[in-house]
Amino acid sequence: MSEAKKLHVALFPWLAFGHMIPFFELAKLIAQRGHKISFISTPRNIQRLPKIPPNLAPLINLVSLPLPTVEHLPQNAEATTDIPSHKTPYLKIAFDGLQGPLHQFFQTSTPDWIIYDFAPHWLPPILANLGISGVFFSMYGAWTLSFLGSSTSAMINREDSRTRPEDFTVPPEWIPFPSKIAFGLHEAKRAFGDHIEVNNSGFSDVFRLGSVIGGCNVIAIRNCNELESNFSRLVGELHCKPVVPIGLLPPADFDGSSDQDDMWLTIKEWLDKQNKGSVVYIAFGSESELSQPELHELALGLELSGLPFFWAHRKRENSVKLPDGFEERVKGRGTVWTSWVPQLKIMGHESVGGFLTHCGYASIIEALYFELL
């Protein structure tokens, strides 16, 4: 029997590290099978990726496409972690500006397959014209994909009967089995403005998502059947596409650039002084932002709890403020860290026994991995 054909597979994630890192992990897994990889992103993001294992380096080509300059987007901002959340639509405008360079890359490099994210609504027609097969790789669970739309057409053409945030506080009618998947009203109001309605990028996230699903050959989801087999089947039925559970892709030891070694030593020194399983780790992802009342209530709740805690609270350009005297009152028992943290190292430390999170899917997977849920 002849050896199976080796493929050229391109990967094109959205410009958020919660997306780029799982895409990168998938790239390594595919390369381990002997296939050629083109991992496509922007120059600064490429520089911030983990090192490629030496045995896979000959098979993985990191392709840098310069991000176009866009009004309201800060210089050198190439990922969601570089900007406050209200500027994310401008990052999407810049991302959409990669359409021409990406098209040119495909014409010269001719990959067999491309695995892409939710954002490039313009990509499926390009692939169809060039005869390249496409996989939509979802960083969102199948329950989220099921919740967001009853069909590809409904997502693209805004045919959803849900027109108010209140409509998203109950499970949608097209879920045929018992489910509690729904937003709280405060969550629905935020999601409605951020993802469901048209934003300053000119498109809604639901439109982008529907477009890439409609134009793909296969839907791949970062999940497993043990977690959500019913929802995975439902996604395939709703969109008439084959669905492949990729697995959870547990995190590799990636926490950003190497300049964090001293930072980790400082954090580890504090964690080493705490009792095993006693520390609550608090982090709300790279994009979520707390309002002033939410931050105030969380801080006072931590103070009243009496528990030791480590709070990764990154300051942003419009950062809300902690209650007066809070850090002094919890000094020694609690630490508020205002810059980037090596999250995986923290979660893996034996003193950490709980994780308070915004419940982003990547954070849930990491919490499962470290048995903190």
Q: For residue 67, which phi and psi values (nearest 5 degrees)? A: -80, 130
Quick one: tokens of 134? 């496409």
Quick one: tokens of 339? 């810059």
State the catalytic residue, choosing from 19, 239, 313, 349.
19
3-state secondary structure of 141: coil
| Helix%, strand%, coil% for the chain, nearest 5 | 45, 15, 45
Cα–Cα nearest to 195, from 115, 92, 314: 92
Q: Is 121 a catalytic site residue?
A: no
Contact at 8 Å (CB) between 250 and 17? no
Cβ-in-10-Å burial (0-12, 13-18, 19+) of 275 comes to exposed
Q: Which helix (H) or strand (E) holds 240?
A: none
State the catalytic residue, choosing from 35, 96, 117, 121.
117
Per-residue DSSP letter, 273: T
3-state secondary structure of 113: strand
Cα–Cα nearest to 143, from 180, 93, 168: 180
Per-residue DSSP letter, 243: E
Beta strands (DSSP E) in the chain are 8-12, 36-41, 60-64, 113-116, 133-138, 218-221, 243-245, 279-283, 309-312, 334-337, 352-357
Sign, CA dihedral 82-87-90-95, equals positive
Q: Is 19 a catalytic site residue?
A: yes
Catalytic residues: 19, 117
